[in-house]
Amino acid sequence: MYTQICYLMRSKTDGSYLVAHLSQDSDRAERTADTGHLLIFREHFDALSYINTHGSGVADRFAVESIPGSQLEGLLKRWGFLGIGIVQDPLIPKIEFLTRK
């Protein structure tokens, strides 16, 4: 993943990233500054498919952003994400969650 390009969804209005809050993290996220798991897509079109399928009402408020995998750790630290959610299938959705230590 370090050498791959990662695709993220970012809000056009405030610049925040599209994240997932796991049910076990929801209480923790309310008590602390933790902001959930950053959703990562393997392809640009996967990100568009995901937002058009599951967020059609707000799809026009998001843009796809690409970053090299080498910058992912810095982004996670800077924004305080708990980990990442790699979207395997954007239509179902099937997401693999990985938590940082």
* Three-state DSSP state, 21: coil
> In angstroms, rounded to a whole number, what is the distance separating the alpha carbons of residues 99 and 81?
9
pLDDT of residue 72: 94
| C-alpha 30, offset from chain centre | 18
pTM of the model: 0.85
- Dmax (CA) for the chain in angstroms is 35
Tell me the average confidence (pLDDT) per consecutive run of 10 residues in the chain, 101 residues long: 87 94 63 76 96 93 96 94 94 92 77
Structural domain of 20: 5-99
Question: How many distinct structural domains can be found in the chain?
Answer: 1
